[in-house]
């Protein structure tokens, strides 16, 4: 069960170090790379709530094993992908499989461990495995890319996915809710449509603008679908997500924290890794070493946070974890340069890893404590969905921010180059080519060959602009994490309060 959990979390970050290699091999744009990462999270988030409900109804083990099989099939598609579009499709298939397999890993714990302290320890192990997978993603990915190629990442997924499926089939007990209702298919489709339209809109806005007809139409469609989803879930006899749960701070606040921390984690594992690959041109091995201390401390912090949460409840562990995570982001930000101090950067990322590790356990525990046992599948799915929506928004929103800042900053960097005034206008016209170079690693420089003597300065300007965009994304991420921690400190109570709220919550008629 933990192996399945490990793989589904691992695949949120394992491809980050391989982005440069697959970009070159498949001639992929940055938008394609965002879909490679975000497509997995989008598929994951879109149906996870429904899969939790299906598991409650049909059996959590059966749904978990089916999801593992789909995950393995998607891994084969990715490993053999001849182009970026096929790779994106394979990643989406993997996300669907992960959505089916992951909720069962947590809701089964809720039914096996009924004592508060025992469950807190079990959730601590669950969170430690999740944190380990999240942090090991860049390390394992870097090692596989360095030793083989980016395709090795997906053969690794297939091998361990099949092994996990076999072990889970033998060892995991079946559990189900005999009174569970049928899945709300309409609610599931409305929720998936909301997320898909939003992600398409934001990523498309990077190459056009938020004022373009297509982007406006997609944003309007997302808003309409979101309203329809809430309307449907408020009136459905057996909703895929009981929106009444959001009346409870013990349920809502941990989900907000999960969203913000995953969005910020995406800033580290996608954009920071991509920057290190493209600007200093680091190898997969070196990037793996940069992230290694973060991995170790995240594991230790997760284990200790499980004990802390079992004694004191989720409030202060979440608050302290968010503060440490934000501090790590703020310290790492100025260290991400074309010639980084790798030791100092590793230490800053390690502090961020401590924060992530501390936060994962109490967030998960708080969400489960906020609902009655028969809703554990829904609650587990909601928490995981919040994380994956954070990853989706990390891919889309932070990507839009990075390239918006890049575009704005690049003009000033190019204008500052030491060229004759008569040629500055032509140099500024070089901007689309530079952006193409950053987005794809390739560019058609035919009409600009006469600027060969200053080409290094132009490239430096491009990288400086990319860095400006990345720094803006990291500052935004740190601010969101700090705000989430403050919200937890002000609103969350101890476990006893959560228990009372859970007892007052009854399923809708």
Residue 396 lies in a domain: yes
- Nearest in space to 143 (alpha carbons), one of 283, 322, 2: 283
Instruction: State residue 306's pLDDT score.
Output: 79
Residue 191 lies in a domain: no
Whether the CB-CB separation of 393 and 42 falls below 8 Å is answered with no
Is it the case that residue 17 has pLDDT exceeding 60? yes
Give residue 253's pLDDT band: very low, low, confident or very high (50, 70, 90): very high
Judged by average pLDDT, the poorest of 178-187, 283-292, 327-336, 343-352 is: 178-187
In percent, the amount of the chain with pLDDT more than 90 equals 23
Is it the case that residue 359 has pLDDT exceeding 70? yes
Q: Domain holding 177: CATH number? A: 1.20.1250.20
Instruction: State residue 464's pLDDT score.
Output: 80
Residue 427 lies in a domain: no
| Domain extent for 284 | 2-184+236-405+465-504
Q: Span 356-361, mean pLDDT?
A: 87
Residue with tokens 């598929």: 43
Residue 359 tokens read as 């936060």
Give residue 450's pLDDT band: very low, low, confident or very high (50, 70, 90): low
Distance from chain centroid for Cα 212: 27
Summary mean pLDDT of the chain: 80
Judged by average pLDDT, the poorest of 317-321, 422-426, 488-492 is: 422-426
Alpha carbons 327 and 348: distance in angstroms, whole number: 8
Q: Span 139-153, mean pLDDT?
A: 84
Q: Span 293-321, mean pLDDT?
A: 86
Instruction: State residue 496's pLDDT score.
Output: 46
Count of domains for the chain: 1
Tell me if residue 139 falls in helix, strand or coil: helix
Q: Beta-carbon neighbour count of residue 454 at 10 Å?
A: 16
Residue 429 lies in a domain: no
Alpha carbons 179 and 509: distance in angstroms, whole number: 13
Is it the case that residue 289 has pLDDT exceeding 90? no
> Which of the pair, 324 or 24, is modelled with greater confidence?
324
Q: Which range among 132-146, 212-226, 262-276, 385-399 has the greatest average pLDDT?
A: 212-226
Alpha carbons 140 and 34: distance in angstroms, whole number: 20
Judged by average pLDDT, the poorest of 69-78, 253-262, 424-433, 483-492 is: 424-433
**Following DSSP, what letter does each residue of 211-237 receive, concatenated?**
TSHHHHHHHHHHHHHHHHHHHHHHH-S
- Mapping DSSP onto H, E and C, the string for 402-433 reads HHHHHHHHHHHHHHCCCCCHHHHHHHHCCHHH
Is it the case that residue 451 has pLDDT exceeding 70? no
Residue 30 tokens read as 């940055």
Residue 226 lies in a domain: no
Is it the case that residue 414 has pLDDT exceeding 80? no
Q: Span 187-216, mean pLDDT?
A: 81
Residue 481 tokens read as 């994490």
Is it the case that residue 271 has pLDDT exceeding 50? yes
Residue 310 lies in a domain: yes
Angle between helices 30-58 and 185-205 (to 10 degrees): 170
Give residue 388's pLDDT band: very low, low, confident or very high (50, 70, 90): confident
Instruction: State residue 421's pLDDT score.
Output: 61
> Which of the pair, 481 or 107, is modelled with greater confidence?
481
- Nearest in space to 110 (alpha carbons), one of 327, 439, 374: 374
Positive/negative CA dihedral, 478, 251, 363, 93 = negative
In percent, the amount of the chain with pLDDT more than 70 equals 78
Q: Span 440-461, mean pLDDT?
A: 59
Q: Which range among 94-103, 195-204, 450-459, 471-480 has the greatest average pLDDT?
A: 471-480
Q: Span 459-472, mean pLDDT?
A: 81
Residue 194 lies in a domain: no
Instruction: State residue 453's pLDDT score.
Output: 58
Alpha carbons 368 and 250: distance in angstroms, whole number: 9
Instruction: State residue 323's pLDDT score.
Output: 97
Residue 472 lies in a domain: yes
Residue 332 tokens read as 């790492």
Instruction: State residue 441's pLDDT score.
Output: 52
Instruction: State residue 155's pLDDT score.
Output: 94
> Which of the pair, 458 or 446, is modelled with greater confidence?
458
- Mapping DSSP onto H, E and C, the string for 79-114 reads HCCCCHHHHHHHHHHHHHHHHHHHHHHHHHHHHHCC
Q: Span 392-397, mean pLDDT?
A: 78
Is it the case that residue 485 has pLDDT exceeding 70? yes
């Amino acid at each position: 069960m933990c192996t399945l959990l490990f793989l589904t979390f691992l695949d949120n970050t394992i491809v980050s170090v391989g982005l440069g290699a697959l970009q070159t091999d498949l001639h992929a744009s940055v938008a394609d790379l965002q879909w490679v990462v975000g497509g997995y999270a989008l598929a994951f988030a879109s149906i996870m709530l429904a899969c939790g409900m299906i598991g409650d109804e049909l059996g959590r083990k059966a749904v978990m094993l089916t999801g593992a099989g789909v995950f393995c099939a998607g891994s084969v598609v990715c490993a053999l992908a001849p182009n970026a579009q096929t790779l994106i499709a394979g990643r989406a298939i993997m996300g669907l499989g992960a959505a089916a397999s992951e909720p069962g890993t947590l809701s089964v714990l809720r039914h096996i461990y009924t004592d508060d302290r025992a469950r807190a320890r079990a959730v601590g192990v669950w969170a430690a495995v999740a944190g380990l997978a999240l942090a090991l993603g860049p390390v394992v990915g870097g090692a596989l890319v360095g030793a083989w190629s980016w395709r090795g990442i997906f053969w690794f997924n297939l091998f361990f996915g099949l092994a996990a499926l076999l072990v889970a089939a033998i060892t995991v007990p079946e559990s189900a809710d005999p009174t569970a209702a049928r899945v709300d298919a309409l609610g599931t489709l409305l929720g998936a449509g909301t997320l898909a339209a939003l992600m398409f809109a934001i990523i498309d806005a990077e190459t056009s603008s938020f004022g373009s007809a297509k982007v406006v139409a997609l944003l309007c469609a997302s808003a309409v679908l979101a309203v329809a989803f809430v309307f449907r879930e408020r009136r459905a006899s057996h909703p895929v997500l009981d929106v009444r749960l959001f009346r409870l701070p013990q349920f809502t606040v941990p989900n907000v924290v999960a969203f913000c921390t995953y969005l910020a984690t995406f800033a580290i594992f996608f954009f920071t890794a991509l920057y290190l690959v493209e600007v200093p041109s680091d190898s997969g091995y070196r990037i793996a070493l940069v992230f290694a201390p973060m991995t170790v401390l995240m594991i230790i912090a997760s284990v200790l946070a499980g004990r802390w949460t079992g004694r004191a409840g989720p409030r202060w562990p979440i608050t302290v974890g968010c503060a440490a995570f934000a501090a790590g982001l703020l310290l790492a930000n100025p260290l991400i340069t074309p010639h980084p101090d790798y030791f100092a950067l590793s230490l800053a990322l390690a502090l961020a890893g401590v924060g992530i590790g501390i936060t994962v356990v109490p967030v998960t525990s708080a969400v489960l404590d906020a609902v009655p046992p028969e809703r554990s599948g829904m609650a587990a799915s909601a928490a995981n969905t919040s994380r994956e929506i954070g990853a989706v928004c990390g891919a889309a929103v932070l990507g839009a921010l990075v390239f918006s800042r890049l575009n704005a900053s690049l003009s000033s960097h190019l204008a500052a180059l030491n060229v004759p005034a008569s040629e500055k206008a032509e140099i500024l016209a070089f901007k689309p080519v530079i952006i193409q170079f950053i987005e794809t690693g390739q560019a058609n420089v035919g009409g600009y060959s006469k600027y060969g003597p200053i080409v290094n300065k132009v490239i430096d300007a491009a990288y400086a602009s990319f860095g400006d965009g990345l720094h803006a994304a990291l500052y935004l991420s740190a601010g969101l994490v700090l705000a989430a921690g403050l919200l937890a400190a002000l609103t969350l109570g101890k476990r006893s309060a959560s228990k009372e709220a859970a007892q007052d919550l009854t399923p809708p008629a």
